[in-house]
Amino acid sequence: MSTTSADLSRLAFGKLGVGEVLPANPPMLVARFTSESLQFQPNVVASPELDPSGQVRDSILTGSASTGNVEFPLVRSVWFHEMLSAAFRNDWGTGVLGYPDPGNAGQYLTRNLGVDELIPGKMVKLYDVEKRFETPDTPSYHVFRKAGVNTLSLSVSPNELLTGSVSLIAGELDLYNADLAGASYADPGQYTPLTAPNVTEVNIGAMTAAACFSALTLAFGSNMRAIDCIGSYSAREKAIGRFEPTIDGTSYFVSNDIIQSLIDQDAFPVTIALGDGDGNVYEFFYPRCKFTNATAAIPGTNQDVMLPVSIRALYDPNYRYSCKVTRTLA
């Protein structure tokens, strides 16, 4: 073999433990993915010194960054569950939430989360990301240290597989020619990817105008930033900003309900349930949202009038979160 085929590559994530160090004999989470663009980005400076040759005397590596995305089919897997928890900056089943008191209108009770529930937290979750290439002579390995999830988005289009994208911010790059010592790589599973026909619910408040979507994207951003320090070639640590969940979509324009809601700045709940047809369902509940954009334009002949919309999810002090994921696993 004289080339390196993408079809033989593997992408695996090792969760960092105490001290932001990969533990001994780590269980690596193998991703079911379609492509990735995580790249080492060096900062190389040409020497500014004057030289009698009239040419550049040296080139110096002064720092680096590593960023990129992982594109994947939306499918039940341990890796996907871990990426969701990293985007939400929390562990599944961790935290306290509020819910309406069924016997007292307008009042809320509290409870601990169940093991299949996830709400936003304040944890910085980091991973060593390993890319394995089947190069001609011996496999090659690229390991990106201390990678964090900046954003995660999920996209739905009619008659298509549901897809996702994870945006990563990483640190240093190390090169190897063998699996990480003591690491285990479990098969990521054979569950069926989720499809658009199995989106069981898209409920935008009480507005029936949003019943038919031609596109839908759920995004969860942590506003992660890299912290550069003197004495290090790459970011020494990661910090997170505020958690920002958004929804963008395009619906068929049938009434002014959504545009009026934008003008009035009404607050409303949103529920979106994504399934795979085998009983695995991920329900995203946003208790308090507002429209940030909704504009109808008249297209050319033989076309439908569409309504692109943008929704921002807001923190609800009664529910104690801006978004909750509930997974039902078959």
For every residue of 273-329, DSSP letters joined together read EEE-SSS-EEEEEEEEEEEEEE-----STT---EEEEEEEE--BTTTTBS-EEEEE-
Taking residues 43-65, what's their average pLDDT? 89
166: closest CA among 9, 275, 32, 321?
32
pLDDT-above-90 percentage for the chain: 64
Rg for the chain, CA atoms, rounded? 23
Check whether 228 has a pLDDT greater than 80.
Answer: no
CA-to-CA dists, residue 320 to 29, 91, 156, angstroms: 31, 16, 28
* Amino acid letter, 76: R
Check whether 158 has a pLDDT greater than 90.
Answer: no
Grade residue 46 by pLDDT with cuts at 50, 70 and 90: very high
Whether 117 and 84 have beta carbons less than 8 Å apart is answered as no
Q: Which two tokens stand for residue 228?
A: 């550069």
Q: Give the bridge partners for 46, in sequence order.
A: 59
Taking residues 186-196, what's their average pLDDT? 88
Taking residues 31-53, what's their average pLDDT? 92
Grade residue 122 by pLDDT with cuts at 50, 70 and 90: very high
pTM: 0.91
Taking residues 253-266, what's their average pLDDT? 90
Backbone conformation region of residue 277, classed left if phi is above 0, alpha if psi is from -120 to 50, else beta: left
Separation of alpha carbons 150 and 89, rounded Å: 10
pLDDT at 209: 47
Per-residue pLDDT tens digits for 164-176: 999 999 988 999 9
Taking residues 49-54, what's their average pLDDT? 91
Looking only at the bridges linking them, the beta strands covering 27-30 and 184-185 are parallel
Check whether 86 has a pLDDT greater than 70.
Answer: yes
Grade residue 1 by pLDDT with cuts at 50, 70 and 90: low
Average pLDDT, the chain: 90
For every residue of 45-64, DSSP letters joined together read EE-----TTSS---EEEEEE
Separation of alpha carbons 38 and 36, rounded Å: 6
Per-residue pLDDT tens digits for 265-322: 999 999 999 988 888 999 999 999 999 999 998 998 999 999 999 999 999 999 999 9
Which residue carries 């720092």 as its tokens?
63
Check whether 205 has a pLDDT greater than 80.
Answer: no
Separation of alpha carbons 182 and 222, rounded Å: 32
Grade residue 152 by pLDDT with cuts at 50, 70 and 90: very high
Which residue carries 């030289």 as its tokens?
51
Q: Which two tokens stand for residue 234?
A: 């790459």
Taking residues 177-206, what's their average pLDDT? 85
